[in-house]
Amino acid sequence: MDATTAPRGLARYDRWMNERLYARCATLSDADDVVLRFADGLTPERLATTLTFRAVVDQREHTMPTWLAMTQLFNHQTHHRGQLTALLSQLGLDPGVTDLPWTPGVRDL
Protein backbone atom coordinates (compact mmCIF):
# COMPACT_ATOMS: atom_id res chain seq x y z
CA MET A 1 0.00 0.00 0.00
CA ASP A 2 1.44 3.38 -0.95
CA ALA A 3 0.96 6.61 0.98
CA THR A 4 -2.05 7.66 -1.10
CA THR A 5 -4.13 4.48 -0.75
CA ALA A 6 -5.68 5.21 2.66
CA PRO A 7 -6.56 8.85 1.88
CA ARG A 8 -8.09 7.80 -1.46
CA GLY A 9 -10.15 5.14 0.30
CA LEU A 10 -11.30 7.62 2.92
CA ALA A 11 -12.18 10.15 0.23
CA ARG A 12 -14.23 7.53 -1.61
CA TYR A 13 -16.02 6.55 1.61
CA ASP A 14 -16.60 10.20 2.49
CA ARG A 15 -18.17 10.98 -0.88
CA TRP A 16 -20.25 7.77 -0.85
CA MET A 17 -21.69 8.36 2.62
CA ASN A 18 -22.38 12.04 2.01
CA GLU A 19 -24.24 11.25 -1.23
CA ARG A 20 -26.27 8.53 0.47
CA LEU A 21 -27.21 10.68 3.45
CA TYR A 22 -28.09 13.71 1.29
CA ALA A 23 -30.29 11.45 -0.83
CA ARG A 24 -31.96 10.05 2.30
CA CYS A 25 -32.56 13.52 3.70
CA ALA A 26 -34.14 14.54 0.39
CA THR A 27 -36.94 12.04 1.15
CA LEU A 28 -37.87 13.65 4.46
CA SER A 29 -41.42 14.86 4.87
CA ASP A 30 -41.98 18.44 6.01
CA ALA A 31 -42.67 17.15 9.54
CA ASP A 32 -39.48 15.08 9.58
CA ASP A 33 -37.52 18.04 8.23
CA VAL A 34 -38.77 20.24 11.08
CA VAL A 35 -37.72 17.62 13.65
CA LEU A 36 -34.31 17.23 12.05
CA ARG A 37 -33.73 20.97 11.89
CA PHE A 38 -34.85 21.42 15.49
CA ALA A 39 -32.77 18.53 16.78
CA ASP A 40 -29.59 19.48 14.95
CA GLY A 41 -30.12 23.22 14.56
CA LEU A 42 -29.58 22.82 10.82
CA THR A 43 -31.03 25.75 8.93
CA PRO A 44 -30.03 27.14 5.54
CA GLU A 45 -28.48 30.15 7.29
CA ARG A 46 -26.47 27.98 9.68
CA LEU A 47 -25.26 25.82 6.81
CA ALA A 48 -24.05 28.89 4.87
CA THR A 49 -22.22 30.15 7.96
CA THR A 50 -20.67 26.73 8.55
CA LEU A 51 -19.44 26.47 4.96
CA THR A 52 -17.87 29.95 5.18
CA PHE A 53 -16.18 29.03 8.47
CA ARG A 54 -15.00 25.75 6.98
CA ALA A 55 -13.25 27.63 4.15
CA VAL A 56 -11.34 29.70 6.71
CA VAL A 57 -10.40 26.62 8.74
CA ASP A 58 -9.26 24.78 5.62
CA GLN A 59 -6.79 27.57 4.89
CA ARG A 60 -5.29 27.25 8.37
CA GLU A 61 -5.02 23.47 8.16
CA HIS A 62 -2.41 23.78 5.43
CA THR A 63 0.15 24.36 8.19
CA MET A 64 -0.47 20.86 9.56
CA PRO A 65 1.21 17.76 8.23
CA THR A 66 -0.90 16.56 5.29
CA TRP A 67 -1.63 13.17 6.87
CA LEU A 68 -2.99 14.87 10.00
CA ALA A 69 -5.18 17.35 8.12
CA MET A 70 -6.66 14.62 5.93
CA THR A 71 -7.27 12.29 8.86
CA GLN A 72 -9.01 15.09 10.77
CA LEU A 73 -11.13 16.00 7.76
CA PHE A 74 -12.47 12.50 7.25
CA ASN A 75 -12.76 11.68 10.95
CA HIS A 76 -14.73 14.83 11.74
CA GLN A 77 -17.15 14.27 8.87
CA THR A 78 -17.69 10.72 10.14
CA HIS A 79 -18.63 12.24 13.51
CA HIS A 80 -21.28 14.46 11.93
CA ARG A 81 -22.62 11.67 9.74
CA GLY A 82 -23.02 9.63 12.93
CA GLN A 83 -25.12 12.41 14.39
CA LEU A 84 -27.25 12.54 11.25
CA THR A 85 -27.75 8.78 11.08
CA ALA A 86 -28.85 8.80 14.72
CA LEU A 87 -31.42 11.51 13.98
CA LEU A 88 -32.69 9.66 10.91
CA SER A 89 -33.01 6.48 12.98
CA GLN A 90 -34.98 8.37 15.62
CA LEU A 91 -37.36 9.43 12.85
CA GLY A 92 -37.77 5.75 11.93
CA LEU A 93 -35.75 6.14 8.71
CA ASP A 94 -33.08 3.55 7.99
CA PRO A 95 -29.88 5.23 6.72
CA GLY A 96 -28.65 1.87 5.42
CA VAL A 97 -25.18 0.37 5.72
CA THR A 98 -22.60 2.92 6.88
CA ASP A 99 -19.50 0.76 7.28
CA LEU A 100 -16.27 1.56 5.43
CA PRO A 101 -15.71 -1.97 4.01
CA TRP A 102 -18.97 -1.70 2.03
CA THR A 103 -17.92 1.47 0.20
CA PRO A 104 -18.24 0.69 -3.51
CA GLY A 105 -14.81 0.19 -5.07
CA VAL A 106 -12.80 0.71 -1.87
CA ARG A 107 -11.28 -2.76 -2.04
CA ASP A 108 -9.96 -2.04 -5.53
CA LEU A 109 -7.64 0.73 -4.34
Domain ranges of the chain: 5-102
Asked if 7 contacts 88 with a C-beta cutoff of 8 angstroms, the reply is no
pLDDT of 7: 79
Asked if 104 contacts 20 with a C-beta cutoff of 8 angstroms, the reply is no
Q: How far apart are CA 59 and CA 27, in angstroms?
A: 34
Average confidence (pLDDT) over 66-75: 84
Is the pLDDT reported for residue 108 higher than 70? yes
Comparison of pLDDT for 64 and 81, the residue scoring more: 81
pLDDT digits (tens, 9 = 90+) for 10-31: 888 878 887 887 777 777 777 7
- For the full predicted model, state whether its pTM sits above 0.85: no
Q: Comparing C-alpha atoms, which of 16, 43, 10, 29 is closest to residue 88?
A: 29
DSSP secondary structure code for residue 106 in this structure = G
